[in-house]
Amino acid sequence: MDTRSGLRAWLVSPAVLVAFCICVALITVFQYSLRAYVPGSLDVGGLTLANFTGLNKPIYLDAFWNTLLLSAETTVLSLLVAYPLAYAMVRVRNRALKSFILIVSVTPLFLGEIVRTYSWIIVLGNNGFINTMLRKLGLIEWPLELMFTHLGVLVALVHVTIPVVVLMLATAISHIDRDYEKAAQSLGAGPIRTFLTVTLPLSMPGILASVTTAFAWTFSAFATPQMIGGGRVPTVSTLVYQLGFSSMNFPLAASLSVAGLALTAVALWGLGRMTRRLKAVGGH
Amino acid sequence: MIQKILTAGVLSSVLLAGAVQAEDALVISTWGGSFRDLIDENIGKEFTRQTGVPVKYITGGTIDRLNKAKLASTPESDLTFTTSHIGWLYVNGGLFEQLDTSKLTNYSHLVDRAKISPYHIGSWAYVYTIGYRPDLVPSSITFNSWNDLWNPELKGKIASPDFDPSHIIDIAAILSGGDASTWEKGQDKLKALKPNFKAFYTNDANSQQLISTGETPVQILLSMNAYHMVGQGVPIKVVMPKEGAVLGVDSMGIMKGSKKVDLAYKFMDIALSPEVQSKIVAYKKASPVVDNAKVSSEDAALPGVFTTKEQWATQAIVIDDKLRAEKTAEWRKWFTENIMN
């Protein structure tokens, strides 16, 4: 018993330490958000709520809306692309093909964020791969505006989110007992009906977990919206950076961070409420 | 057993030697990448050659380093390089030592614009100006004046830094009859430029990427950065508009509490020597901050490389550093709210 308690303490202590550090950081950010900005100084002034009341300007509301929209769109699109990939990866019997799908799916994770983002600039730019191909095919005369747009940021975010969703879904799908599917088929269900009535509901816990992760992951994305957006697609994280590190207005940056954190919590809570029933469907 | 003891002994010696070397080294806080190399190649190596003291570099972003310096109970570095207006934040925070200029041999040749405060002085200068790709803009377009940026033919072609809008804010104010202290006068003028902006770059690398791919063929950019790209084969033309270009001075200051103040002065002294300043101009196409540096005629002819008193007086648009340090947040906020979105 003593040995077990000791082992548990060893295992739990790093988590406690990390949690403590996160709490200290959050408290620091929170107290900064309630302090006045002093121009020309990094020191902050007295207590104030002005940082929060100033957040109702269109630019900040736009940033909140953009962030929510990008997170929701990225989550849905990633799920639509990742599910077939994860399904194929789990169910194909050919090991080489399985490995190929795995490599294709997770490669974006192994590229550095900056390298990956710069690659997208090359692909999406006026003289990039997509526009060049479309022009050569005679489909367009003038380049499509893909860089510094919501669409460009979305494409790049989906690309980086897919690996995470694939891995989570693959784990969920691999845990589905194939006997349920065989039972459905023995009762006359075709492959599509089996998938829709058995496989998909049973993979629901994985879908919900990946949706939650993808949403939160995208909400905090920084390098992609900053660089692909080129300052034209404001999100909460890019504004926090700009306010803090360009303007040195740490109190306003902190208040935006706190508001963003609260919005994430509310969004995830809402998502949890909406999907509670779906989660119950997948309980097996 | 003997082998283990020997291995441990050798390892300890190596670690101890490293620790002693780090202890002895003069520690310089600077930006990473090519700026660290610029300092090391041109000043650091000469310093070590003359004194035998190694130089250790702590690199990081401008604000990261300022934050770390503020939080440190004892200074992490002995000497810090930073932009002149951020240097004022070090000064206001009591982080820089007041300079004894009698210890700087070439101080009498320091140009006025490099005498920033009693606590920090310039190390080299540059301008933020118009740089463009002649191969990617209509041949009818010329840039004799900053006003030419407002040409409707440049719709969706311009990029400017997202981290510091002070240059274009000051220019808009000047073109509207004001200056940096009355910057509000230029607000409407700047709003009229909005359609011509395509993007706002995050850093020098991002600026290089956007202009080299032709994504933004016209930029308000750092002259040293533009010349670096020209050296890489990117056909960029750097312009000196008739109103002048916005001066930037990178500066150095000795950290209060440094235990190697004399060595830090020596480092500064070497940085300001005519020979080293000449090398900095040749290496980075910066402006020397002393008037007795030898500059090749090719480099002296480059827009934004100031070598004469007249150039400093007529071509440098100066934003007061203290005003800039105080106004940056306000300018940045206004720019984000009104121009970037």
C-beta neighbour count of B107 within 10 angstroms: 18
For residues B202 and B340, what is the distance between their CA atoms, to the nearest angstrom? 13
Compute the average pLDDT of residues B124-141.
95
Residues of B in contact with A226 (CB under 8 A): 202
Shared fold status for B2-124+248-312 and B127-246+319-340: yes
Over the stretch B93-122, which tens digit does the pLDDT of each residue have? 899 999 999 999 999 999 999 999 999 999
How confident is residue B336, by pLDDT bands cut at 50, 70 and 90?
confident
Smallest Cα distance from A115 to chain B, Å: 12
pLDDT for res B62: 86
pLDDT for res B159: 96
Name residue B246's amino acid: V
Name every residue whose Cβ is closer than 8 Å to that of residue B55 and which is 6 or more positions away in sequence: B25, B26, B27, B28, B40, B44, B47, B48, B267
Over the stretch B219-252, which tens digit does the pLDDT of each residue have? 999 999 999 999 999 999 999 999 999 999 999 9
Count A/B contacts: CB-CB distance under 8 Å.
99
| Cβ-based burial of A37 (10 A; exposed 0-12, middle 13-18, buried ≥19) | buried
Indicate yes or no: CB of A246 within 8 angstroms of CB of B325.
no
pLDDT for res A68: 94
pLDDT for res A7: 84
- Answer yes or no: is pLDDT of B18 > 50: no
Domain borders along chain B are: 2-124+248-312, 127-246+319-340
Indicate yes or no: CB of A232 within 8 angstroms of CB of B67.
no
- Answer yes or no: is pLDDT of B19 > 50: no
Boundaries of domain holding A139: 57-281
Indicate yes or no: CB of B332 within 8 angstroms of CB of A39.
no
DSSP 3-state assignment of A35?
Answer: strand
- Considering only alpha carbons, which residue of chain A is nearest residue B197? A232
CATH label of the domain that carries residue A194: 1.10.3720.10
For residues B58 and B66, what is the distance between their CA atoms, to the nearest angstrom? 12
* Residue A87 zone, left/alpha/beta (φ > 0; ψ -120 to 50; rest): alpha
Q: CB of B142 within 8 Å of any CB in chain A?
A: no
- In a mutagenesis test of the A interface, which of B91, B135, B162 is the best target, namely the one with the most A β-carbons within 10 Å? B162
Indicate yes or no: CB of B213 within 8 angstroms of CB of A121.
yes
pLDDT for res B153: 95
Indicate yes or no: CB of B70 within 8 angstroms of CB of A37.
no
Closest by Cα among B209, B252, B247, B249 to B228: B209
Tokens of B118: 């009693």
Percent of chain B scoring above 70 in pLDDT: 93
Bridge-based pairing of strands B237-238 and B218-222 is unpaired
pLDDT for res B16: 46
DSSP 8-state assignment for residue A47:
E
Q: Do the beta carbons of residue B23 and residue B15 sit within 8 Å?
A: no
Smallest Cα distance from A251 to chain B, Å: 11
Residue A253 domain flag: yes
- Answer yes or no: is pLDDT of B3 > 90: no
Smallest Cα distance from A260 to chain B, Å: 18
Q: CB of B325 within 8 Å of any CB in chain A?
A: yes
Indicate yes or no: CB of B336 within 8 angstroms of CB of A239.
yes
Residues of B in contact with A25 (CB under 8 A): none
* Residue A119 zone, left/alpha/beta (φ > 0; ψ -120 to 50; rest): alpha
Q: Do the beta carbons of residue A81 and residue A158 sit within 8 Å?
A: yes
Q: Does domain B2-124+248-312 have CATH number 3.40.80.10?
A: no
How confident is residue B314, by pLDDT bands cut at 50, 70 and 90?
very high
Q: Which residue matches tokens 């093909």?
A: A97
For residues A185 and A102, what is the distance between their CA atoms, to the nearest angstrom? 28
Nearest to B89 among A41, A125, A249 (CB): A41
Indicate yes or no: CB of A39 within 8 angstroms of CB of B329.
yes
- Answer yes or no: is pLDDT of B1 > 60: no
* pLDDT averaged over every residue in chain B: 91
For residues B153 and B145, what is the distance between their CA atoms, to the nearest angstrom? 15
For residues B150 and B161, what is the distance between their CA atoms, to the nearest angstrom? 17
Residues of B in contact with A126 (CB under 8 A): 213-215
- Considering only alpha carbons, which residue of chain B is nearest residue A59? B337
Segments of chain A with pLDDT less than 70: 1-2, 278-284
pTM: 0.80
Q: CB of B68 within 8 Å of any CB in chain A?
A: no
pLDDT for res A18: 94
More confident site: B292 or B14: B292
Over the stretch A173-211, which tens digit does the pLDDT of each residue have? 999 999 999 999 999 999 999 999 999 999 998 999 999
Residue A46 domain flag: no
Residue A37 domain flag: no
Name every residue whose Cβ is closer than 8 Å to that of residue A196 and which is 6 or more positions away in sequence: none
Q: Does domain B127-246+319-340 have CATH number 3.40.190.10?
A: yes
Residue A43 domain flag: no
Residues of A in contact with B92 (CB under 8 A): 40-41
Indicate yes or no: CB of A40 within 8 angstroms of CB of B201.
no
Over the stretch B32-78, which tens digit does the pLDDT of each residue have? 888 999 999 999 999 999 999 999 999 998 888 998 898 888 999 99
Over the stretch B150-182, which tens digit does the pLDDT of each residue have? 999 999 999 999 888 999 999 999 999 999 999
Closest by Cα among A33, A98, A21, A69 to A250: A33
Indicate yes or no: CB of A231 within 8 angstroms of CB of B164.
no
Residue A104 domain flag: yes
- Answer yes or no: is pLDDT of B21 > 80: no
Name every residue whose Cβ is closer than 8 Å to that of residue A277 and which is 6 or more positions away in sequence: none
Residue A27 domain flag: no
Residue A36: its H or E element: strand A35-37
The three-state DSSP-derived secondary structure of chain B is CHHHHHHHHHHHHHHHHHHHHHHHCEEEEECCHHHHHHHHHHHHHHHHHHHCCCEEEEECCHHHHHHHHHHCCCCCCCEEEEEHHHHHHHHHCCCECCCCHHHCCCHHHECHHHCCCCCEEEEEEEEEEEEECCCCCCCCCCCCCHHHHHCHHHCCCEEEECCCCHHHHHHHHHHCCCCHHHHHHHHHHHHHHHHHEEEEECCHHHHHHHHHCCCCCEEEEEHHHHHHHHHCCCCCEECCCCCCEEEEEEEEEEECCCCCHHHHHHHHHHHCCHHHHHHHHHHHCCECCECCCCCCHHHHCCCCCCCCHHHHHHCEECCCHHHHHHHHHHHHHHHHHHHHC
Q: Domain count of chain A?
A: 1
- Provide the chain A residues 18-77 that lie in CB contact (below 8 A) with chain B: 37, 39-43, 57-59, 62
Q: Do the beta carbons of residue A254 and residue A30 sit within 8 Å?
A: yes
Between vectors from CA B222 to CA B218 and to CA B227, what angle results, nearest 5°? 85
